[in-house]
Structure 1
Amino acid sequence: MSLYKPRGTFARAIFEKVHNDQYLDEYDTRMWYKISTRLPDYFQSKFVFLECPDEITVNWLEKAKMLSANIWIQLWHTVARVFLGFFMTQTDINGFLKRGSMFILSEKQFSNLLQIGGFYPPNFAEYKTVDILDIGAGDGKITIRLANSIANMFNNSSNIRIYATETSWTMRNRLSERQFIVINQIKDVANIPLISCLNVLDRCIDPFKLLKDIYDVLAPNGRVLVALVLPYQHYCEFNTSHMPLQPLLNHWPSKARKLSFETEAILFFETLENFGFKLEAWTKAPYLCEGDLRQSFYWLTDLVAVLSKKIS
């Protein structure tokens, strides 16, 4: 008995979307947060197990499904991306179309991870304003969740001021619309209590300079929230070779996709600690992205860690 094969590009796209979304509905999302093998005791003791998507994460997924199901918007985005792709980067296109928003952790999950990692409101009682620097903030939606989690931790008793960096001009416009203070370089600020660098180290041209800049502007008792997609794959959008000056993890690209999540996690932690950071807490989570005409949402596997400065 032959399988049904729809005719026409549009019909095939819808057929493929139904098939892909059925797979998403049946996927066990608890796997997003699990590690498959035990790590050495030091790294294992820092692991924060989130267990399953919480209510806010589930709500985000449902909204992504609804947006993806709007066929006319998805058709418009598909046509616009083809045209705009001749003279804009993919990030600029997403910012221009206000599409492709990302999600990592909910407000509650951010708060839980940061508090376990030692980010305590009493440590910043003398601060009239609690500054957050988000490096590569994109459209700012993840930044807002992080800022809301900090406001809740402080019981809204402190003003939250958000600084952000972003290379995409359309995304910079989105950030300005949200009243973020968009700065040109990290060293434009200093003594920052909380710095987030979420999925940027594998997208910048010089990850080690970025780590040094983060270290230099971090407050002595501050924390860095860093995320990295594993398996590690480096891609620079804004240079012609798309290669970094030096990869963050030295096994790439020769052993790309050959090492386990846990093995690469240890390599990443060792790189950070050799650079002067101390691992305080970490977790595994999905790096979610709104979908398109092909399926409702996409995800990559994220390692999310809380770091402090090592005490000399």
Structure 2
Amino acid sequence: MEKTNVCYPDSSECCDVYSCDSAVHAGNLGSALSFRPRGSLARALYQKQQHDVFLSQFDKAEWYHCDLDQVPPSLASKFVQLGPDQDTINFLEQSERKSDWVLTQIWHSLVKALLGWFMTQTSINGWLQRGSMFVISQPQLRKLFKIDDNWRADTLLDLGAGDGEVTAHIAPAFFKVYATEMSSTMRTLLHRRGYELLDIDNWYLDRKFDVISCLNLIDRCDTPLELLNQILTSLKPDGRVLLAVVLPFSAYVESGAPDHKPKELLPINGSCFEEQVRCIVDDVLTPANFEVESWSRVPYLCEGDLQQSYYWLDDVIFVLKLKNT
């Protein structure tokens, strides 16, 4: 897939948009070259059908593949192989059903165009209750944490929790769930789910947590190094961090400077997924006093629209602990 526009409904803009590379998908889309339906809606629906044919044939296991020969043996030994489980398939099927609600999708497009003049895309998505995300299922979480089905901890804090859909997959492993979120419409959705909302400016001042999840946030944060330090000081001594980062890394701050660049730039480089993983560990996490306990590669999935049923980006996901504990 050739990426033409990158957006994050959970933490910044809209859906991630991909277009089909004709060289790769000629077998699927060849018939489209000789048939051009009239009318913009007819063309959109026809193109969506072509995209969805490709998605139905795409090998979902590729989302989880990592070339471990490209990372140091000490890091490769901590890799946990995951795959598309039933919760993942359920999310994809639900996204396909919603994407086929043509009138709803048209309504969403019209509202987004209007509200985009004075609301952030995240708040628009919260108001429309669209663009939900999926990162990791409960079984995948337990495999990554290397815990059994009976394990439960006291507290989870999910930073930048969006509409809480991702949080909901993690929450059953905890007795108490806290969350932070900048968008007022998203906070309303989190409150409805029963999560205790903490202030985004002082959540780290007077509490310690068993697990802090920070999923696809440090590339959308103005001060990611400061955030990592706040996480460090807010963990219980034996606490863990669940950290996900979209790769290739591309920092973007929705509300901030006109150029949307963060105040703190993370030194993440590399020409491929594995090289950037190594760079994150060596140049970001280790200097921040975190140690990798386990890690994996997962898709960052988003509900679709009239263009296609769902979208994805590549995520590296870490389980971290305090260094030297």
TM-score, normalised to structure 1's length?
0.89
SS, match of residue 200 in structure 1? coil
Q: Alignment partner for residue 203 of structure 2, among 179, 182, 186?
A: 186
Pairwise CA distance, 1:121: 4.5
Q: Does 1:47 align with 2:79?
A: yes
Residue by residue, what CA displacement relative to the aligned partner does 1:42-61 show, whole Å, maximum 9, x if unpaired?
A: 100010011x3111111111
- Alpha-carbon distance in structure 2 between the residues aligned to 1:131 and 1:162: 6
1:246 to 264, 289, 310: 264
1:174 aligns with 2:186: no
* Distance in 2 (alpha carbons) for counterparts of 1:62 and 1:80: 25
1:170-206 residue CA offsets vs partner (Å, 9 max, x unmatched): 1111111111111113324422100000000000000
In the alignment, the residues of structure 2 paired with residue 290 and residue 37 of structure 1 have an alpha-carbon distance, to the nearest angstrom, of 30
Count of residues in Structure 1 that have an aligned counterpart in Structure 2: 289
Q: Does 1:196 align with 2:196?
A: no
1:20 corresponds to which letter in structure 2? H
1:285–1:303 CA contact under 8 A, matched in 2 = yes
Alignment check: 8 A CA contact 1:186 1:214 kept: no
Report the Cα offset of residue 217 of structure 1. Answer: 0.5
Q: Give the C-alpha shift of residue 260 in structure 1.
A: 0.5
4+ residue segments displaced more than 4 Å: none
Is residue 296 of structure 1 aligned with residue 301 of structure 2? no
Question: Among residues 108, 124, 130, which one is paired with 1:77 in the alignment?
Answer: 108
1:216 to 233, 236, 241: 233
User: In the alignment, residue 259 of structure 2 is paired with which amino acid?
Assistant: S
Looking at structure 2, the residues matched to 107 and 121 of structure 1 have their Cα atoms a distance apart, in angstroms, of: 12
Contact 1:288 1:297 in 2 (8 A): yes
1:13 counterpart SS class: helix
| 1:94-121 deviations in Å (ceiling 9; x for gaps) | 00000000001111001111126x9x94
SS at structure 1 position matched to 2:229: helix
- 1:254 corresponds in structure 2 to none
In the other structure, the counterpart of 2:324 is: 311
In structure 2, list runs of 5 or more residues that go unmatched.
1-30
Contact kept, 8 Å, 2:299 with 2:312, in 1: the verdict is: yes
- Aligned partners of 1:259, 1:273: CA distance in 2, in Å? 21
Report which stretch shifted further, 279-288 or 33-42.
Answer: 33-42
C-alpha contact (below 8 Å) 1:190/1:219 kept by paired residues = no
Partner of 2:166: 142
Report the secondary structure of 2:146's partner residue. helix
2:261 equivalent to 1:229: no
Distance (whole Å) between structure 1 residues aligned to residue 190 and residue 110 of structure 2: 25
Distance 2:80 2:107 in 1: 41
Residue identity matched to 1:176: H
* AA partner of residue 133 (structure 1): L
Percent of pairs with identical residues:
41
Unmatched 5+ residue regions in structure 1?
125-129, 152-159, 252-257
Could you give the per-residue CA deviations for residues 10-67 of structure 1, whole angstroms, max 9, x where no partner exists? 11110110011011011111000001351211100010011x3111111111111001
Cα offset for 1:216?
Answer: 0.5
Q: Note the alpha carbon deviations across 1:136-195, whole angstroms, 9 max, x for none.
A: 0000111111012x15xxxxxxxx111111111111111111111111133244221000
SS at match of 1:131: strand
Take 1:199 and 1:95, find their aligned partners in 2: how far apart are those partners? 17
Q: Distance in 1 between matches of 2:278 and 2:207?
A: 30
CA distance in structure 2 between the aligned counterparts of 1:61 and 1:305, rounded to whole angstroms: 23
* CA contact 1:163–1:183 (8 Å) conserved in 2: yes
Stretch deviating more after TM superposition (76-85 or 29-38): 29-38
Give deviations 1:213-238, integer Å, cap 9, x for gaps. Answer: 00010100000000000000000001
- Mapped to 2, the partners of 1:19 and 1:6 lie a distance apart of 13
State the partner residue of 1:155.
none
Report the Cα offset of residue 269 of structure 1.
1.0
TM norm structure 2: 0.85
Looking at structure 1, the residues matched to 195 and 187 of structure 2 have their Cα atoms a distance apart, in angstroms, of 9
Q: Tell me which residue corresponds to 1:281.
A: 294
Distance 2:101 2:268 in 1: 43
Q: Deviations over 1:236-278 (max 9, x none)?
A: 0011221011222254xxxxxx610000000011110111001
